[in-house]
Amino acid sequence: DGGITQSPKYLFRKEGQNVTLSCEQNLNHDAMYWYRQDPGQGLRLIYYSQIVNDFQKGDIAEGYSVSREKKESFPLTVTSAQKNPTAFYLCASSIVSGTGLGNTEAFFGQGTRLTVV
């Protein structure tokens, strides 16, 4: 089955620790995205990548880092610099159309719920 897999589903972090959220896709999509969702709010873009070894900051990149060493994988690290990391994190992927991003269906993973304890 093709799809996008996030792990773990739930993650607890102590204050001051870095944690890494995994996102893997076997859809052969070039573009991958990380979104943060807070209760009652929409999706806010953290980072996105159109191609291996290249990524761009989204609207709320501070306190986060990513890598894109393989097409299939786009891990997100939540660093200790992120002041309020408790949230639901969603990874997505899409193909890249001739006119750029945002023009084709985005496929989402099941999400990771991160809680700082």
Partner 1 sequence: GQQVMQIPQYQHVQEGEDFTTYCNSSTTLSNIQWYKQRPGGHPVFLIQLVKSGEVKKQKRLTFQFGEAKKNSSLHITATQTTDVGTYFCAGGIQGGTYKYIFGTGTRLKVLA
Q: Which residues bind partner 1 (CB under 8 A)?
A: 33, 35, 40-45, 48, 50, 56, 58-59, 90, 92, 99-111
Q: Are 87 and 21 in contact (CB under 8 A)?
A: no
Closest to partner 1 by CB, 19 vs 92, is 92
User: Least Å distance between CB 79 and partner 1?
Assistant: 22
Cβ atoms 9, 111 nearer than 8 A: yes
Closer CB to partner 1, 50 or 80, in the complex: 50
Token pair 């001739």: residue: 98
| Closer residue to partner 1 in complex, CB, 28/56 | 56
Question: How many beta carbons lie within 10 A of that of residue 58, not counting itself?
Answer: 17
Distance CA 51, CA 42 (A): 26
State the minimum distance, in angstroms, from the CB of residue 95 to partner 1: 13
CB of 93 to partner 1, least distance (A): 12
Grouping H, G, I as helix, E, B as strand and the rest as coil, residue 39 is coil
